[in-house]
Amino acid sequence: MIDLRSDTVTKPTPEMLHAMMNAEVGDDVYKEDPTVNELERRVAELFGTDEALFFPTGSMANQAAIKMHTQPGEQLICDKYAHVYNYEGGGVSFNSGVSCKLLDGDRGMITAAQVEEAINPPDFYHSPLTTLVCVENTTNKGGGACYEMSTFHEIKEVCEKHDLGYHLDGARLFNAIVAKNQDPKEYGTLFDTISICFSKGLGIPLGTVLTGKSELMKKAMRVRKVLGGGMRQVGFIAAAGIYALDHHIDRLAEDHKRAIELGNYLSQLSYVKKVEPVETNIVIFKVNDEQAVMNYCDKNDLIISNMGQGKLRLVTHLDYTQELHEQALQLFKNFS
């Protein structure tokens, strides 16, 4: 079986399992788990931020950040493809009582000019008060697209001018850092809060770290508790995160290489109408007959995602080896 639905389907490597089983643990609700504390310290140091806190999921970390930045009745700005709007169960409204102003960006990426235009006049009490900008890097629905750092700086200037919070959904942030050869500390200087998911490209079973400025992060423990995210001896998972920081970042380039090869190969096939630009580990392509392709993939134990309207998605990852890659290329070639 070749599973290309998502990079969340990976299993821990034997070396990661060894690190997990030998972790020193304690009660993290009391902040007494030394391995969790070390992971949080490592992330804050890597990004040059004040504090960090471990969460069970990326959605919870994003929702906590939104709650820390906003008050009920306010509004955040994000792209129409944003994960916080499309894939977090309506949590923005349910958890924080906040609405979203959606922008029509490019593959999930928005510009400073779009942000400035979308801000509601603060003295016009008929409309929600704009208080937060959320961006995503890489973009999920945008096909793994990466922002340029210059765009982030330009949006930051708008946020500072209008006194807006600035949150980064970094679900696949390390993919962007590797693809663009970026310095994590530059992200730390730009954003008020950053969520960094470890269960995607870094291949651990679960977990996200939220990091940012101390004036916001001081609220994080309480909000995590409200959302039910307090865990006990979670150092067994944090140990996997530390192992991933040491061993699974540079290898993301392999995933990117295979994804680009898949994209190039698919673009040459007659039944593929269009392949979106491939920058990291996500390939989105459009076909003439999505059901026929899905049926063929099911029959041949190739699992991919159907996004609807003829769009299909592949995501390369830690468990997608070169051998499986060559098999997948052959399977796509054989479809008729």
Asked whether 232 and 4 are in contact (CB, 8 A), the reply is no
Judged against a pLDDT cut of 90, whether residue 4 lies above it is answered with yes
* Residue 215, burial from CB neighbour count under 10 angstroms (0-12, 13-18, 19+): exposed
Percent of the chain with pLDDT over 70: 100
Task: Kindly list the strands in the beta sheet with 75-79, ordered across the sheet, starting from the edge strand earlier in the chain.
Answer: 51-55, 208-212, 193-197, 165-170, 130-136, 75-79, 99-103
Q: What is the mean pLDDT of residues 79-99?
A: 97
Q: What is the mean pLDDT of residues 290-300?
A: 96
Reported pTM? 0.97
**Domain 14-247 classification at class level:** alpha beta
Confidence of residue 325 (pLDDT cuts 50, 70, 90): very high
Judged against a pLDDT cut of 90, whether residue 214 lies above it is answered with yes
Confidence of residue 240 (pLDDT cuts 50, 70, 90): very high
In 3D space, the residue among 220, 295, 291 whose CA is nearest the CA of residue 63 turns out to be 220
Q: What is the mean pLDDT of residues 41-54?
A: 98
**What pLDDT digit, counting tens, does each position of 134-189 carry?**
999 999 999 999 999 999 999 999 999 999 999 999 999 999 999 999 999 999 99
**What pLDDT digit, counting tens, does each position of 49-80 carry?**
999 999 999 999 999 999 999 999 999 999 99
Asked whether 102 and 120 are in contact (CB, 8 A), the reply is no
Asked whether 266 and 302 are in contact (CB, 8 A), the reply is no
Q: How far is CA 29 from CA 26, 54, 192, 260, in A?
A: 9, 11, 24, 43
Can you give the residue ranges of every domain in the chain?
14-247, 251-334
Confidence of residue 239 (pLDDT cuts 50, 70, 90): very high
In CATH terms, the fold of domain 251-334 is Aspartate Aminotransferase, domain 1 (3.90.1150)
Judged against a pLDDT cut of 80, whether residue 336 lies above it is answered with no
In 3D space, the residue among 190, 209, 202 whose CA is nearest the CA of residue 64 turns out to be 209
Q: Do domains 14-247 and 251-334 have the same CATH topology?
A: no
Confidence of residue 30 (pLDDT cuts 50, 70, 90): very high
